[in-house]
Each structure stands twice: as structure tokens, then as C-alpha cells.
Amino acid sequence: MAQAKVLHTPVFATAPYLPDAAGELRVVVPSRCVFAEPHEADCHPRIDYRRERKTGPCFPLAVVRCRVHPVRRYTLYPPGFVPYGRRAVAPVSPSGPLLRDGDSGEVPWQRTVFAAAIDAAAGERWPEQGASQEESCRRTQGRHLEMAERLAGVHPDLGTRAREQIATRLGVATLLLCDAVRDRHRCWSARGRMLVSVLAALPADGSVMRRLLSAGMVAGLWARPARWDPVGGCWHRARPVVTPTSAASPSSPSSAARDPPTTSQGDDCEAVSEPATREQDTP
């Protein structure tokens, strides 16, 4: 039964947050629960309470539950943010679109965890201790560098097969990630430059958020992400991780060096729409 499955299913769900009449950001409540099966027609999430945040998005996040699946509440994170994350992993607005600098048109990666890499690449070390709890310090920069390396598929602890999958989901050449790992040095500036080169190769379009969330799932940073689409009235979920037993040999030289295949807007996600349909691969 669905309720029994919910007890053991980690949840990572995102939904747009829009300003209300008073200018406060409020979540667009999904019309279907993230746990809904295709045959479940009467499944309507409701906001249980709002969770205050001192860091991260710095506005209350909605915690929802529904009548059909009452055994679990789950948080609806704004686009770009992840569970327990104090900084966004993707430079998108609370409503979802990609952010760009008003003057240069550049993607503002400094607003994300990749700020640690950008500063490191420029030879900038964050202070040993922050003046306040909210201010970033050198220890935080190190943690963000570590996370960014896993997210970008260039951490040395990642296996060959995981690196290939991350490259495909990010839309970058696998060879780029393999070369980055091979040339990785312990100094922060070299690690920062390596990450900046990966950012430069990322498609600078509206797919950045879903690509990074999908890559983070492969790297084991969070559970399988589900993104609510108010226009389509459905949940978009990242494709499950391919295990080595169902894939080509991870030691194959040709697979390790190949570029990712041509991708489309929905190449790494599945959509679950209204009860009359089944879960399908997005083309």
C-alpha cells in the first residue's frame, strides 16, 4: 500500500514560490501529492505549517501532507535549494526561472555554493572566522568546495560510471570531467579553476536547475528530486540512477571518453501527471 511505502521513502520535492498580495513568498501548492500513484484520484496536499529559516532562502518554507498519505509530512523547497542547504545550488529565482545579471547578462553563480569555487579560483580565501553566524568562513568555503566537486562530477571518490552519468545529466563532455579529476590538485585555487571550467561548459539555459539536481542525486548528495510543474499539473522526477549491472562496462575506454548525447529539455526526467496516465519518460 502507498502508506507503507511512504514510511521508507526519502522526499526531496520542489515547487515554485510566488509573492502574495502583501509581497510575501508563498508556495504554489501542488494539486497532487508527491506520493500519489497513477490510480489515486483523491490526493490533495495541504499546508500543515510553515517552517522558518534563518539561512538558505530566508523565508518560511511550506510543510505539506495529504489525507491519502497521512503518515509523512514533507517540505516543499523553492527551486534551486536542497534539503539542509544554506545556499542554492542553482542560480534560479524562487519561482523557477534562471537568473541573469541585469547589466552583463551573466549567470550569477556567486549566489550559489559555487561561489566558494569562484573565489578560490581567484585566489580568495574566506576569513578564518566569520563576524557572525550567518557570515561565511573558510571552513564553509571548504565544505562548499567539496560539495561542488561532487555535484560537478569531479570529486576523486566518484566512480567512473557515476562520472559518466553526471556528465550526461549536466550536458557536458565526460572527457572534461575525467581530465579535471586527473589534473586535480590539493590547493584550493586549482580546485576552484577546475570547477569554474565545468560551470563554463554547462548549458546556460532554463535546464540548469534540473541538470544540477539530477547530477546531485547521482553523486549521492540527496534523494531523487521531484519538481512540481503548475502549468502541466504534474511532478517531474529525475531519471533513476543506472546501476553498473544494467549498463555498459564502467572500465570501457570508449565510454569513459565519449561526449554526452544530444539532449533535450526533458532528457533526464520523468513526468507523473493526472491519475488517468501512467509514469512516462519525458521525450
User: The C-alpha cell of 178 is what?
Assistant: 575525467
Residue 108 confidence (pLDDT): 95
SS3 for 178? helix
* Residue 158 to residue 255: CA distance in whole angstroms: 16
Q: DSSP per residue over 45-114, as a string?
A: EEEEEEE--SSTT-SPEEEEEESSSTT--EEEEPTT--TT-SSBSS-B-TTSPBP--TTT----GGGBTT
Predicted local distance difference test score (pLDDT) of residue 280: 35
Give yes or no for residue 70 having a pLDDT over 60. Answer: yes
* pTM, to two decimals: 0.82
Q: Confirm if 125 and 169 have CB atoms less than 8 A apart.
A: no
- Which of the two residues, 113 and 36, has the higher pLDDT score? 113
Scan for cell 539561512, then name that residue.
55
Q: In terms of pLDDT, which residue wins out, 252 or 56?
A: 56
Distance CA 143, CA 113 (A): 9
* Interaxial angle between packed helices 138-151 and 188-201, expressed in degrees from 0 to 180 and rounded to the nearest 10: 40
The pLDDT > 70 percentage for the chain reads 79
Mean pLDDT of 39-58: 84
Owner of C-alpha cell 543506472: 242
**What would the pLDDT profile of 116-168 be if each residue is shown by its tens digit?**
999 999 999 998 875 554 557 889 999 999 999 999 999 999 999 999 999 99
Per-residue pLDDT tens for 98-110? 999 988 889 999 9
23: which 3 cell numbers? Answer: 509581497
Share of the chain above pLDDT 90, in %: 58
Q: How many helices (H) and strands (E) does the chain have?
A: 8, 10
Do residues 44 and 32 touch, judged by C-beta distance below 8 A? Answer: yes
